[in-house]
Amino acid sequence: MTDFDRTRTFFHLPDGLVYLDGNSLGPLPVAVPKRLERMLRSQWGEMAIGGWNRAGWIDAPRRVGDRIGRLIGAEPGHVVAGETLSIKVFQALAAALHLRPDRCVILSDRGNFPSDLYMADGLARLTERHEIRVVDPEDVEAAIGPDVAVLLLTEVDYRTGRLHDMARLTRAAHAAGALTVWDLAHSAGALPVDVVAAGADFAVGCTYKYLNGGPGAPAFVYVAPRHVDRVEPSLAGWLGHAAPFRFEARYRPGAGIDRMRVGTPPILQLAALDAALDCWDDVDMADVRRASLSLQKTFITEVEASCPELSLASPRESARRGSQVSFRHPEGYAIMQALIARGVVGDFRAPDLLRFGFAPLYIGDADVRRAAQVLAEVMHGRLWDHDAYRAVAAVT
């Protein structure tokens, strides 16, 4: 079993703060400032441009990608980090569509993150031959027809925490001749993921949530071995070239996952992410999952017993949830602001969702019970009914 009392020392959190918003932005790992200081002074400061080779900057996207790959069950050498999640969604989706040239439908669901749908829409308008079909989450499997080229889904719904069955839906997509692109933004570092066992074709994700890479931390992309040497990158960046420093006029894709690289990697952000990933070296994701579900159960039980005005928006069955719990209330925004003002940090999603993320690496049972107690105090005293909270909500 993982010693989460030990991992909590890996993070900087102000005394008395209960941080239940790691599903939006993870807290600062204590190792990050020292790593960045060392990188700035001994690498950039002393080596200058020599750091690309002497300090291994040029290989950082693959090196960090492999560390992430271990957490999502990927084969070594098949994950690369860099750019933003939206860019990686575009890359993976474009590559998947290229592998299914005789089909025109991108299938997704209404629980997908809007940015993923924006990227899909932009790509469809660019090709002028693809279309997006969006259905309710429970209707996805039935909607996978012979015209579907790619199934584009976020495994965990960012609003409610509802969890898709990646393996089952991937099997259904493959049976219909379609490929899959899975967004693991709310999965990586939150629950066990095995892209190999699930048969995923492509996967993408961000690293600033449960992986604690910091604001703007680079995203990642996974390509299954059976596809990686056939992928034709639509974003043909110079570092995805087979020989980037020959500066050839025409693009030749790099070998394997390197072809999914685009531009100059964000070395400072990769250094911060690399340091943040240290805390996962001795962590078993099965232990994380068990601890997370236990914390969620405690929170749901406590909140429903003391705050009947709130209604559970997340699936009640634990196996159908990711690592977050959401409740509904018409005054959700003001309630969340009142909570934050009292040291319990969650967040709000329109129109009425209060979201709470559960990351056992730095959240324990006492934190969860404290959060439920403060929420009860806010609700019983109508402490959210305050002009300051309502004024902010009115313009947000």
Catalytic residues: 113, 183, 208-209, 355
Dihedrals φ, ψ of 286, to 5°?
-65, -35
Contacts of 214 (CB under 8 A, 6+ apart): 26, 28, 32, 208, 269, 272, 273, 276
CB atoms within 10 A of CB 188: 25
Half-sphere exposure of 355 (CA within 13 A, CB side): 22
DSSP three-state, residue 228: helix
What would the DSSP string read from start to end of 29-68? ETHHHHHHHHIIIIIIIHHGGGHHHHS-GGGHHHHHHHHH
Task: Label the pairing between strands 131-135 and 324-328.
Answer: unpaired
Token pair belonging to 235: 């974003």
| Contact between 199 and 227 (Cβ < 8 Å) | no
DSSP three-state, residue 328: strand
Closest CA to 237 of 256, 206, 259, 266: 259
Closest CA to 161 of 23, 50, 352, 34: 23
Token pair belonging to 210: 């449960």
Half-sphere exposure of 95 (CA within 13 A, CB side): 31
Helices (H), the chain: 4-7, 31-38, 46-47, 51-54, 60-71, 85-99, 114-127, 166-175, 195-198, 225-228, 267-276, 285-306, 332-341, 365-380, 387-394
Cα 312–Cα 186–Cα 85 angle in degrees, nearest 5: 140
